[in-house]
């Protein structure tokens, strides 16, 4: 019997970046964009607010790009402060690298198991799918999904009762499957 679990975001992640005003390291994406055009060139930023002092920082989305090279749909979404675009841009590795930021997914996701999982079967195959690239520890997901402690999950891995084609230690942000044997 195959169980399907999904890791889904519940809100936007926090942005890790040092605040120039108060030295905090967490910002909340406001969902607002600032767009500035100078003749044929355009700049666009995603605005983020420091969670400690409320200071605003700009995350570069477009930098001195020719207006004609930008898709009209993207410009419309920037002008409309599209919240879906905010989520897409925060996940974009290019935007993260350009702005030297990382994302903090703490308390910003949940595991949807589709109901209670019965542990009375001989073997349970579980497919874990990520709705977004959310880094999570498989041990934590398995513990939460089965209602076990993380230490108990690690013991089951050591005993060979939890097997997978991927390493279950560390963090993953891609889909994986595992088998739980009684």
Count of Cβ atoms closer than 10 Å to residue 34 Cβ: 14
CA-to-CA distance for 69 and 40, rounded, in angstroms? 10
Q: Are 4 and 125 in contact (CB under 8 A)?
A: no
User: How many CB atoms lie under 10 A from the CB of residue 61?
Assistant: 23
- The three-class DSSP label of residue 163 is strand
**pLDDT tens-digit profile, the chain (182 residues):** 788 999 999 999 999 999 999 989 999 999 999 999 998 999 999 999 999 999 999 999 999 999 999 999 999 999 999 999 999 999 999 999 999 999 999 999 999 998 767 667 788 899 999 999 999 999 999 999 998 999 999 999 999 999 999 999 889 999 999 999 87
Helices (H), the chain: 72-79, 83-91, 93-99, 138-146, 150-159
Among residues 141, 81, 108, the alpha carbon closest in space to that of 15 is found at: 108
H helix or E strand, kind and range, residue 56 = strand 56-66
What is the value of pTM for the model shown?
Answer: 0.82
Q: Is the dihedral of CA 71, 72, 73, 78 positive or negative?
A: positive
Q: Is 34 helix (H, G, I), strand (E, B) or coil?
A: strand
Q: What is the dihedral of CA 18, 133, 94, 21, to 10 degrees?
A: -10
Measured CA to CA in angstroms, residue 162 lies from 76, 169, 173 at distances of 48, 12, 19
The C-alpha angle 144, 176, 92, rounded to 5 degrees, equals: 95
Residues with Cβ within 8 Å of 93's Cβ and at least 6 positions away in sequence, in order, are none
Q: How many CB atoms lie within 10 A of CB 30?
A: 15
d(CA 15, CA 90): 8
């Amino acid at each position: 019997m195959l169980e399907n679990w999904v890791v889904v975001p519940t809100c936007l992640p926090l942005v890790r970046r040092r605040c120039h005003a108060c030295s905090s390291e967490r910002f909340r994406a406001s969902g607002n964009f600032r767009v500035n055009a100078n003749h044929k060139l355009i700049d666009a930023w995603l605005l983020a607010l420091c969670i400690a002092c409320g200071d605003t920082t700009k995350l570069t989305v477009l930098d001195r790009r020719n207006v004609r090279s930008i898709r009209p749909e993207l410009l419309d979404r920037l002008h409309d402060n599209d919240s879906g675009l905010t989520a897409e841009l925060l996940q974009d590795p290019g935007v993260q690298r350009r702005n030297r930021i990382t994302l903090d997914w703490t308390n910003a996701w949940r595991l949807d198991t589709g109901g209670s999982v019965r542990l009375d079967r001989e073997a349970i195959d579980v497919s874990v799918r990520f709705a977004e690239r959310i880094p999570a520890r498989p041990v934590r997901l398995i513990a939460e999904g089965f209602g076990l402690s993380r230490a108990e999950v690690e013991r089951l891995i050591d005993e060979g009762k939890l097997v997978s084609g991927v390493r279950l230690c560390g963090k993953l942000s891609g889909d994986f499957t595992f088998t739980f044997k009684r």
